[in-house]
Structure 1
């Protein structure tokens, strides 16, 4: 299996908030306030961000002041910046837990041993997590990320085993028995 990613996306900077250099930040951590606990954050291009202060706004949204960002003009330039933390700064996951980044790159096969593709993303469109699996040839399929559909994750081998719902892997994306329009 490929080595886990060195950096983990934990937040994204949004719009400026006020005139004193604060920004809205969407956290991708279980506890949004925890983004300040991992030390300096980085943008993947060499920029470092030290949290000076933060407060909860709503849900997973924070208002954050970063060191060196003193006014609205500087804050506006940060809009859409993705913030990462080095993997080594994160606590190890508990048993039966993992980081979404651990799923990326896993080979996917059915319980019958048929190759399906490779996990390229984890998405949530509002109804729960989905694994985006890139099929040979470039097309993707979204696999519901539930224990029933993905009963086995073997990180040591680099493989996810799925029990796909009927029709999920059929050509054209139509379940068996459905006529094309």
Structure 2
């Protein structure tokens, strides 16, 4: 079920060097896949970028973008998120999801109690974290693992969440 027609595949970071290269933070399983999807655009489609060269950096790509020839040009792009039309992307494999498909799904407990809606997916380096906004109160931030989220039903519009402390083998205070 495609909710969005575009999927965010990368974010431009700081300028790299003096010839217009940028640090490019890909959100794809294969970092170099962003070079194969054709032109990348901003979320509103007002600007397009073509990656003409890319090489591996430390946790990012160092990329040359067509038409970006100076450090000043590159500095002006810092923070831009880059999107591709969904139809250019491969279908996710069984048990894999595009984050965009998860946003907006209803979250229910394994007992069927409503918990809220998925409002974001985060990854701070240790794995995906799902953010759920309950009807009242602070958002829930939970690891997006099979133990915590055993069921994802994109077509049905919901996920099942095993609340913290109810996971088998989970003990309070255990690290």
Deviates more, 1:93-102 or 1:111-120: 93-102
Residue 138 of structure 1: how far off its partner (Å):
5.4
Matches within 5 A, 1:17-32: 17-32=16-31
2: CA distance between counterparts of 1:30 and 1:127?
15
Match of 1:105 in 2: 104
Structure 2: gaps of 5 or more residues: 167-171
Match of 1:57 in 2: 57
Match of 1:120 in 2: 119
Matches within 5 A, 1:13-162: 13-45=12-44, 46-59=46-59, 61-137=60-136, 139-162=138-161
After TM superposition, the score normalised by the length of structure 2 is 0.88
SS in 1 for 2:57: strand
Residue 12 of structure 1: how far off its partner (Å):
0.9
Residue 62 of structure 1: how far off its partner (Å):
0.8
Task: Give the paired residue count.
Answer: 167
Residue 154 of structure 1: how far off its partner (Å):
0.7
Structure 1 stretches of 4+ with a deviation exceeding 6 A read none
After TM superposition, the score normalised by the length of structure 1 is 0.85
Cα offsets for 1:97-147 (capped at 9, x unmatched) = 211211111100012111000001112334432210001035201122111
| Superposed CA RMSD | 1.9
1: CA distance between counterparts of 2:129 and 2:140?
9
Contact 2:2 2:101 in 1 (8 A): no
1: CA distance between counterparts of 2:56 and 2:123?
23
Q: Compare CA radii of gyration and give the structure with the larger one.
A: 1
Change (3 A) 1:85 1:164: same
Structure 1: gaps of 5 or more residues: 168-174, 176-181
1: CA distance between counterparts of 2:78 and 2:123?
22
